[in-house]
Amino acid sequence: MNDKKIYVTEPSLPPLKEFIPYLEQIWESKWLTNNGPFHQKFEKALCDYLGVKHISVFANGTLALVTALQALKITGEVITTPFSFVATTHALNWNGIKPVFCDIEPETMNLDSEKIESHITPQTTAILPVHVYGNPCNMGKIEKIADIYGLRVIYDAAHAFGVKKNGKTILNHGDLSILSFHATKVFNTFEGGAIISKNEKMKKRIDFLKNFGFAGEVTVVGPGINAKMNEFQAALGLLQLKHINKEIAGRKKIADYYRKELNNINGITVLPEIEGVKHNYSYFPILVNKEEYRNSRDELYNIFKEKNIYVRKYFYPLISEFPTYRGMESAHSDNLPVAFRVSQQILCLPIYPGLESNDLNKIVKIIKEYQ
């Protein structure tokens, strides 16, 4: 029996020998964390690569989200999507903010901008949309609503490293955007994250908050946290940037192949490509519609599993179905019909440059065979 396991992703790592000189520098300087030289270089290099002006790197994406909400002093209620990784809503919870779930669009699976207004109350202070799978939200509409009602917008861009729309990064939208550099992401520093801010003042405030609130040796300006990125992560990030274009190109090849092969299968939907978007191919989601395909999503998931292929149901269950949130009025399925349908049908297929062509063929063959 073949014991080889295929996962939904495989972390990209630079050749180890390229990392050694970076480690030697850390060992020599003995500067391990707290805004060290690699931390500073990494922030600058990220600004250049991503096309943003101000970035603060973090220990992980969740702490970046929690801190972003603190930095803007968000309170009361925040309108958000249930179709995301649970960290999106947990970040609100950890700040004592009430999440209000709004349904998603069927095409992009992002927050449905047409439905946001109906959730606004006097307590609403912000909107927290997610660029799910790296597909840009309807930012124009979301920000228009935010302007009219005086709301803040924080984008959870954990999946959107390097994504551009009409030649421009999507990370400069809203008040703040957050990134994740987790091992499973297109760009990783083992764990890591970042906040993109629009001006120097805000970056400074965020930098204070991620370091306990310290604004000097004896001055603490707010209830900060320890969310700093260490020198090991920052050095790795700096090196990873040299390989990121190759990583994205490798993923594109896999995505193109899936797209070509899975386009005409009854009951399998591949998300349409969005015009003008330079994608990062962070995930490859398909929808499995049991009415038209011979097997349900869960049946197909199990067929893969039996063959040692570990596809993932990102995002099932919806965040609003977890015990912490399911009692909330906005968590009711009547409020979230599209999100409920999509979460029952979604399946993310393996995508990473090292996915061998015979394994890729096998994945496609299984989907075709069980139709």
Footprint of ligand T4K on this chain (CB under 6 A)? 7-11, 60-62, 84-85, 87-88, 130, 156, 158-159, 180, 182-184, 193, 310, 314
Give Rg (Cα) of the chain. Answer: 21
What's the farthest any 2 CA atoms get from each other in the chain? 67
CB of 179 to ligand T4K, least distance (A): 8
CB of 123 to ligand T4K, least distance (A): 24
Which segments of 117-171 are extended strands (E)? 124-128, 152-156, 164-165, 168-169
Among residues 8 and 239, whose Cβ is nearest to ligand T4K? 8
CA distances to 110, 121, 144, 299 from 149, rounded to whole Å, are 21, 10, 9, 45
DSSP H or E segment with residue 71: helix 61-71
DSSP H or E segment with residue 208: helix 200-209
Whose CA is closest to 98, among 315, 328, 339, 332? 328
CB of 344 to ligand T4K, least distance (A): 18
Whose CA is closest to 194, among 318, 39, 305, 308? 39
Among residues 22 and 187, whose Cβ is nearest to ligand T4K? 187
Distance CA 277, CA 96 (A): 35
Among residues 111 and 336, whose Cβ is nearest to ligand T4K? 111
Among residues 54 and 159, whose Cβ is nearest to ligand T4K? 159
Among residues 46 and 265, whose Cβ is nearest to ligand T4K? 46
Distance CA 120, CA 127 (A): 10
Among residues 121 and 308, whose Cβ is nearest to ligand T4K? 308
CB of 188 to ligand T4K, least distance (A): 9
CB of 148 to ligand T4K, least distance (A): 26
Distance CA 50, CA 272 (A): 24
CB of 291 to ligand T4K, least distance (A): 28
The answer to whether residues 178 and 68 touch, using CB atoms and an 8 Å cutoff, is yes
Among residues 180 and 293, whose Cβ is nearest to ligand T4K? 180
| Residue 86 CB partners (closer than 8 Å, separation 6+) | 319, 322
Residue nearest to ligand T4K (CB): 61
DSSP H or E segment with residue 113: helix 113-116
| Residue 249 CB partners (closer than 8 Å, separation 6+) | 353
CB of 91 to ligand T4K, least distance (A): 8
CB of 216 to ligand T4K, least distance (A): 29
Q: Is 148 helix (H, G, I), strand (E, B) or coil?
A: helix
Question: Kindly report the CA angle at 211 between 209 and 216, in degrees rounded to 5?
Answer: 95
Among residues 9 and 335, whose Cβ is nearest to ligand T4K? 9
CB of 300 to ligand T4K, least distance (A): 17
Among residues 65 and 255, whose Cβ is nearest to ligand T4K? 65
Whose CA is closest to 136, among 160, 119, 161, 112? 160
Q: Show the tokens assigned to 159.
A: 């999946």
Which residue has 């990873």 as its token pair?
Answer: 240
